[in-house]
Amino acid sequence: MKAFLLLTVLLSGVLAITAAAVEAVEPAQAPLELQEENQVAEIEVGVAAPEEEEPEQFGEKTVSNKGRFYACPTGWVRYKSSCYLYVSAGRSWSSAAAYCNSLGATLASVHDVFDYSFLQDLTSRTGSTVAWMGGFYFQGWRWMDQSTFNYNFWSTQHTVSRYQCVHVNTRAGWSNNNCAIAWPSICMTRSC
């Protein structure tokens, strides 16, 4: 009986936190089955997600029934607290930045070796070896999303007077190159 009471209190706390964090979500019925008086109860808890009326459009932030709390738009990949989209169409760096902006995102930024490894993997899965990311030079190196340029993993660093945009290199660290080159790109949004 004590185990049942403790389990009920814990479940109530979890449901209260979940309900406070998510608007307009009603908990589904929680079936409770006791096999014997001294055994712990088996409890299943579900969260009802809204029905989708229309299919998701590419790049929109609509919520699917799977992973309600950690959903990325269709075609995007979740990593840490962000969603990433590999864009295979070749564009100049500024055109790629504008495209990401049209999706409510920016070109990807990197803050540690794990972020960069993720971008390398995302790029190499498509068979490509390079892709634009959000680093650029303007009175110092910066990221498009306004985060600090606090991690460096340069493979090669060319003169900034001609090569002001940063790209992923799947075989090594990143490099800067001519911003007019048409390459694939990686968009990132933190507001998933």
Domains and CATH numbers, the chain: 1-48 (no CATH), 70-189 (3.10.100.10)
Banded pLDDT at 83 (limits 50, 70, 90): very high
Angle at 100 between CA 99 and CA 102, to 5 degrees: 65
pTM of the model: 0.64
Predicted confidence at residue 71, as pLDDT, reads: 84
Contact 59, 80 (CB under 8 A): no
What's the average model confidence in pLDDT over 156-185? 94
For the cut 60, the answer to whether the pLDDT of residue 47 exceeds it is: no
* Tens digits of residue pLDDT in 52-75: 334 444 444 444 444 456 689 899
Scanning the chain, the segments in alpha helix (DSSP H) are: 2-21, 93-102, 113-124
What's the average model confidence in pLDDT over 137-163? 91
Predicted confidence at residue 140, as pLDDT, reads: 92
